[in-house]
Amino acid sequence: MALPRKTARVQTGNDDPPIETPNQKRIEKNQKIRVAIVEDDSKLLSTLSKLIDTDAEFSVEGGFPTTAAALEGIPRLNPDIVIMDINLPDISGIECTRRLKAICPGTQILMLTVYEDTEAVFSALRAGASGYLLKQTPIEELLTALREIHRGGSPMSSHIARKVVHSFQEDEVVNRAVESLSPREHEVLELVAEGCLLKEIADKLGVSFGTVHTYCRRIYEKLHVRSRGQAVAKWHQR
């Protein structure tokens, strides 16, 4: 059995640097943060790969243009981080994230996309993404985000972070408004959310149609809404 090759130093008149062996090069590569990219824009995929690879801390292990290709290739690579686009040609990057996390739970996923609506952000985070950046993010900030996510952080573009905070604040306001309803108003709103007509609600609760109408008016006032649909939306948002 051959012994592993070690670094050799040749004694000369000068203090020459040690000769790197293949084993050393492999170890150095394994110490890098290993990245895979899922992006259907081939030009952007190539640019990202080159820019990230120029940093000595990172090694781009592969690029994938579709969810199908990513689900087949990424588990074999088992990278530290996957940079994920949302708008992929076959299945969305959000669904790709959900499936990848089931296969590779230790791999961290950083969304890199043009989508900045709250629903896309929360859908990606619920699917298992650990960070969310917009595509106009400068490369220096992207590299910083990759380091942060590798250390266990959850980097987000400042604009996205504000949206997340604002959404939580809105949810808190809605929760307080719903909690301000009386027990009977809760009953009425729950039946409204189930699709019952006001007459049906009156029959179920054993009260008059006018009484139910009064309850609905009070519910609208407390929730700061003007319609049945808006009231139901806030009921489901709580």
Closest by Cα among 152, 165, 170, 160 to 124: 160
106 and 196 together in one domain? no
Q: State residue 137's pLDDT score.
A: 92
22 found inside a domain: no
Domain hosting 54: range is 29-163
Identify the CATH number of the domain in which residue 98 sits: 3.40.50.2300
Number of folded domains that form the chain: 2
141 found inside a domain: yes
Res 169 pLDDT > 60? no
Q: Give residue 8's pLDDT band: very low, low, confident or very high (50, 70, 90).
A: very low
Res 235 pLDDT > 80? no
Q: Give the H/E segment covering residue 59.
A: strand 58-64
Of 117, 135, 163, the residue at which a domain comes to its end is: 163
Q: How far is CA 151 from the centre of its chain?
A: 17
Q: Which residue has the tokens 């690879």?
A: 53
121 found inside a domain: yes
138 and 224 together in one domain? no
144 and 78 together in one domain? yes
Who has greater pLDDT, 161 or 113?
113
pLDDT (average), residues 7-29: 45
Q: State residue 207's pLDDT score.
A: 92
Residues 28-46 as b/e (b if ≥16 CB within 10 A, e otherwise) read eeeebbbbbbbbbeeeebe
Of 102, 130, 163, the residue at which a domain comes to its end is: 163
59 and 101 together in one domain? yes
Percentage with pLDDT > 70 across the chain: 81
149 and 198 together in one domain? no
Q: State residue 22's pLDDT score.
A: 46
Q: What is the pLDDT of residues 104-127, one digit of tens each?
A: 999 999 999 998 888 888 889 889
Identify the CATH number of the domain in which residue 231 sits: 1.10.10.10
Res 11 pLDDT > 80? no
223 found inside a domain: yes
34 and 105 together in one domain? yes
Give phi and psi for 16, each to the nearest 5. -70, 150
Res 31 pLDDT > 80? yes
Q: What is the pLDDT of residues 182-226, one digit of tens each?
A: 899 889 988 988 888 888 999 999 999 999 989 998 888 888 878
199 and 157 together in one domain? no
156 and 199 together in one domain? no
List of residues 6+ apart from 106 with CB closer than 8 A: 78
Percentage with pLDDT > 90 across the chain: 50
141 and 227 together in one domain? no
